[in-house]
A and B are shown apart, each in its own frame.
Chain A
């Protein structure tokens, strides 16, 4: 097994069956992602990119085909094992931020560490460090409704990186943000990528995909294009991080 290969999808299909109607959301997808890549998965709605994301994120299991995450085969794992994989290997960032309401930024970021069974003091310091890394050291005790959209997404990114994951999965992370805040958020992803974290990002916006080092385009459950590119540097507006 190649140590450098963090994601290894081999001829993966996913079939949803509603009564007699069969929907092939993924139809023989094979993608390998090396450590340290920044992959943007593009496609219109219905192209299968969300299904792919769910499978890569161990939220769902393929109907056929093999999936290995960081060298571990996911097929046949129990729900509990999948949860542990998500907890220790992956970090999620969603379009709708998905933070817990009425819970401070710090506690939101601590959540994965709680399920990892890490002691309170360590949790606190690691969560504080993660929030500092996304530029929110001054917002530790704010609730999500006291934060702007960009700030909420940065809390979500802090939560995704707090467990030192191998891969960060971002599902339309800029979909609910204005264009300037989007660039700020993409700058954070690029910063994480440069620090060695593998980033897989799903988007339908070409401008967002420009910041990635590789672009995979999907249509009707198949990969139609997969190419490396020179990542465009995300330049955050100077006052945005203040």
Chain B
């Protein structure tokens, strides 16, 4: 008997009990469908983290001032200014692994155009900021060093702010806006950056020179920087080194004794991204193992039905043996039947899983990513389930005694 005939016999046997075959494969369908959908969600989340990670830059460190500590209650990082403007200068000049440094002072304020106004996050910073964030200026020249030195009233708008004030695709360069009561000239529009992993809109922001920010918003430059410092290391490989160097420099500058806590903190974005990635991976593994259990249950279902099928068709097996079927013919026939059931379940499951992933993406705006190799592996795994759980019933069928099988009523 050639393989095509065997397959035909198996398919005919399956189609004889359509409902039963469908119910049998349901376990595999649900298992594979769940694997595909879960992996798509996991991969989508992972991709989003990776994008966010790439958007932030792989070599970026954020230096935050220390926390207040009053009566044992910690106020959280940044609540007490401990970083000075001289610290900024020292990091820039004294740490070899640092490429560029940008102070970032932040406040939420209304930006008022001629017709519309929009409250957004205003960042006071230096020209290096856009390099560090790998965030080019789309229109205009942006903030320049002379702007910082002179405390110019110039502003760079994010795309969302442009959309809100002037409408989509407008070019507001050269226009005048007010931030609070101070008039600013628009000198640039930042390119569109999209959303962060947590859904925060990067483009809902505006940027002015930090000198201007300190004077107009914070009432003067002062000694301490009331914000954080964004630092780019020379490469992603030197990021950790830069973190150590900056820590050492600041501890020295702040005259901290050995054993004292740092009065600042440094966030390494690649560490955060890695942690987030690990979280996503754990979640994906967890979901996939739940789905794998479902596949296992599906396999047991197939074994159960195949055992029933062998019993029901004992006489058929006897007839086939009498006319010349060898044990391996019978074995292969039932194995192919189990395999066909499992693979059919796998294919239906793939369709279901892909459909579910697409639906989730559309309905809840979840990031999903369907990977072709996951589909291949799922179908392959269901085939394996079919063989593993089909082998026992098939062996049982092939070992039947032809005389007993023929007498079976």
Using CB atoms and an 8 Å cutoff, list the residues of chain A in contact with chain B: 54, 57, 59-60, 79-80, 83-84, 86-88, 92, 94, 98-102, 111-112, 114-117, 159, 163
Contacts and interface: CB of A to CB of B under 8 A. Distances in A.
Interface in B367-408: 402-403, 406
Contact of A115 (B16, B315, B326, B403): B326
B402 A87 contact: no
Interface stretch (B26-34, B184-192, B316-324): B316-324
A115 B1 contact: yes
B316 A115 contact: no
A102 B183 CA distance: 89
A98 B322 contact: yes
A74 to B, nearest CB: 14
Nearest to A119: B2
B323 A80 contact: no
Nearest to B324: A87
Contacts of B325: 83, 115
21 contacts: A59-B403, A60-B403, A80-B328, A83-B321, A83-B324, A83-B325, A84-B326, A86-B323, A88-B324, A98-B315, A98-B322, A99-B319, A100-B319, A101-B316, A111-B319, A111-B323, A112-B323, A112-B324, A114-B5, A115-B320, A115-B323
A173 B353 CA distance: 56
B326 A83 contact: yes
Contacts of A87: 323-324
Contacts of A115: 1, 320, 323-326, 329
A79 B324 CA distance: 10
Contacts of B328: 80
Secondary structure of the B contact surface, majority rule: helix
B402 A59 contact: yes
Nearest to B328: A80
A54 B86 CA distance: 104
Contacts of B315: 98
Interface residues of B, number: 21
A51 B318 CA distance: 16
B326 A79 contact: yes
Contacts of A114: 1, 5
A102 B324 contact: no
A101 B312 CA distance: 12
A117 B328 CA distance: 14
B327 A83 contact: yes
Given A100-B316, A102-B16, A116 B324 contact: yes
Given A98-B315, A115-B1, A117-B2, A84 B324 contact: yes
Most chain B CB atoms below 10 A, which of A54, A83, A101, A159: A83
B324 A86 contact: yes
A115 to B, nearest CB: 4
Nearest to A116: B324
Interface centre among A99, A100, A101, A163 (most CB of B within 10 A): A100
A99 B320 CA distance: 10
B403 A54 contact: yes
A80 to B, nearest CB: 4
A94 B1 CA distance: 24
A98 B1 contact: no
Contacts of A101: 316
Contacts of B320: 111, 115
Nearest to A89: B324
A98 B329 CA distance: 19
